[in-house]
Structure 1
Amino acid sequence: MSCILRIDGIDFRVDDFIKSTDLKPYRIYRKGDKIKIGKKKIQDSNGCSFDLSETGFKDFEQQKKDVIEYLNKNFLQLNTVYSFGLKNDENPTIDFGIENLMMDFWCQTEYLDPKLLKLVGNLNFGIEISLYRPNPLDIENMELETDKKT
């Protein structure tokens, strides 16, 4: 799961939302549920998460294509989410997980094309980009390849 959609809200009627759509979340949680990870012990909101792309962290371009396809296919269903108790400031968030290239470059920039931004904006969703350290084995292999060339 390199790119996910999180929908979360204090009064979000997650079960009603899921029943009203044919969308399949990989995670559903409800206020009062026990949390296994993190500092909080009890969930203080209702929500769900969807896998939007299974493309790896190294392929941001494909992740964006997958998200555009998912949003186009499911736009009408996702557009109903605010009618299930989400407040205007409880924006669903699309989180792109990508590899942090800062170890190799001084600056890392990523481009979000207008087609994606328009879809996300029309849904009143937010976008996050989470940068993850490269796999240490990948770094080792890159160093070995560099050593072979010199």
Structure 2
Amino acid sequence: MLASSTLVSHPTLKRRSPYTLTYPHLDRSSLFHPALSGDLTCMSCMFRATGFDFAVDEFLQQSTLIPDSVWHRGEHRLAKRVHEGSGFSMVASQADMSNPPQQVEDAIAFLKANQVELERLQKFSGVERICLDFGIEDRDVAVQCDYFPPELLRLAGNLNIGIEVTRYLQADE
């Protein structure tokens, strides 16, 4: 078992992956997603799968998905809290938080490119929650609206993937 809150790298990230030896069937020289290239500067749209009894290592041993972060129930996390379940997360879009339309386009490409594996994930024992989390920058407007097209909603819905929006304050320039 990995140390608590072990981070696992995507090939474009600079961290070294402890999964390189654990999951040798994965070819880390190729990207899992056509929209990802270059350095990761902002994780604007994240894909997450979690569950109280999710055997995340068992799933990932046979998976083509390449997680950025893996955690296990009972492991310590920030502020002396522990993870209540196990899971993993990975980047679905590197588009800037100020560019929701590009995040949506990348998320659609992510769902299409990984459809077979995501179907396996939704049926995997212990998985309780799967979501795409769109990190969107607060704009200095009275009303902020961001559109999610039917194609994204259909693809996500067919895979039992929820849509979440996390709003972030604008960075001071």
TM range (shorter): 0.7 to 0.9
Residues 1:76 and 2:116 are matched in the alignment: yes
Structure 1 residue runs without a partner (length 5+): 138-150
Counting matched residue pairs gives 131
Match of 2:98 among 58, 79, 82: 58
In the alignment, the residues of structure 1 paired with residue 151 and residue 62 of structure 2 have an alpha-carbon distance, to the nearest angstrom, of: 27
Question: Per residue, is there more helix in 1 or in 2?
Answer: 1
Aligned to 2:166: 130
Cα pair 1:2 1:63 within 8 Å, conserved: yes
In the alignment, the residues of structure 1 paired with residue 129 and residue 84 of structure 2 have an alpha-carbon distance, to the nearest angstrom, of: 16
Residues 1:100 and 2:142 are matched in the alignment: no
**How much does 1:86 deviate?**
2.9
Identity %: 34
Q: Bigger relative contact order, structure 1 or 2, given CA contacts below 8 A and separation 6+?
A: 1
In the alignment, the residues of structure 2 paired with residue 53 and residue 80 of structure 1 have an alpha-carbon distance, to the nearest angstrom, of: 21
Residue 57 to residue 34, structure 1, CA distance change in 2 (3 Å): same
In the alignment, the residues of structure 2 paired with residue 20 and residue 31 of structure 1 have an alpha-carbon distance, to the nearest angstrom, of: 20
Match of 1:11 among 43, 46, 53: 53
Match of 1:21 among 63, 85, 110: 63
SS of residue paired to 1:136: coil
**How much does 1:21 deviate?**
1.4
Q: In the TM superposition, what whole-angstrom CA distance separates every residue of 1:51-73 from its partner, at most 9, and x where no partner exists?
A: 11111111111111111001000
Q: Which letter maps to 1:2?
A: S
Cα pair 1:16 1:84 within 8 Å, conserved: no
Q: What is the TM-score of this pair, normalised by structure 1? A: 0.82
Residues 1:117 and 2:117 are matched in the alignment: no
For the aligned residue pairs, the C-alpha RMSD in angstroms reads: 1.3
In the alignment, the residues of structure 1 paired with residue 68 and residue 151 of structure 2 have an alpha-carbon distance, to the nearest angstrom, of: 26
In the alignment, the residues of structure 1 paired with residue 150 and residue 79 of structure 2 have an alpha-carbon distance, to the nearest angstrom, of: 35
SS of residue paired to 1:50: strand
Cα pair 2:122 2:159 within 8 Å, conserved: no
Q: What is the TM-score of this pair, normalised by structure 2? A: 0.72
- Displaced runs of 4+ in structure 1, greater than 4 A? none
Whose radius of gyration is greater, 1 or 2?
1
Structure 2 residue runs without a partner (length 5+): 1-42
